[in-house]
Structure 1
Amino acid sequence: MKIRRILATAVAVAMTTPAVMLSVTPAFADTKPAAQAPAKPTVKELEKAAAEAKKAYDAAVAAERTAYEAVEAAISDTAPLTVAAKAARKAADDAATAKATADQAVTDAQAALDALAENATAAERAAAEKTLADAKTAAATAATAATTAEAESKAATKLADDAKVEAFTALNKAQDATKEALAARTAADAALERARQEEEENPGGEECPDEPGLTTVVNGLPSTVTAGTATTFSVRVANGTEKDMEEVLTYASVHATDKTGAKDIAKYLKLKWSTEKSPKWQAVDGDLYIDAIGALKPGERADIKLRLDVDAKTPAGQGLTFIAGDYFNKDGSCGLTPDAAVNTFDIEAAPGKPAPKPTPKPSTSAPAAGSGVTPQGSGSSVPATTTSSTLAATGSSDATTQLALASGAAVALGAGAMFLARRRKTGADA
Structure 2
Amino acid sequence: MKIRRILATAVAAAVTTPVVLLSVTPALADAKPSAASRAQQRGEQGKPSIEELEKAAEKAQQAYDDAVAALKAARAVLKVALSDDAPLAVAAKAATKEAADAATAKANADKALTDARGARAALPETAGADEIAAADKAVTDAGTAAVSAADAKAAADAKAATAGQVAQDARVAAVQEYSKVQDASKKALKAKKAADKALADARKEESGPDEPECVFESGLRTAVSGLPSKIVAGSTTDFAVRVTNGTGKTLDEVSPRVYFHATDKTGYNVIDDAFHLQWSSAASPAWKNVEGSAAGSISPLKAGAHAEVKLRLKVDAKAPAGDGLALVAGDYVNDDESCGGNLPTEYGFELLAAGSVADDVDDAKPGKTTPQTPDTKPQGATSTTPVDSGTPAATGSLASTGSSSALPRFAAAAGAAVALGAVAVFVARRQRADSAS
TM class, shorter-length:
0.3 to 0.5
Decide which structure has greater helix share: 2
Larger radius of gyration: 2
| TM score, norm. by length of structure 1 | 0.42
| TM score, norm. by length of structure 2 | 0.41
Decide which structure has greater strand share: 1
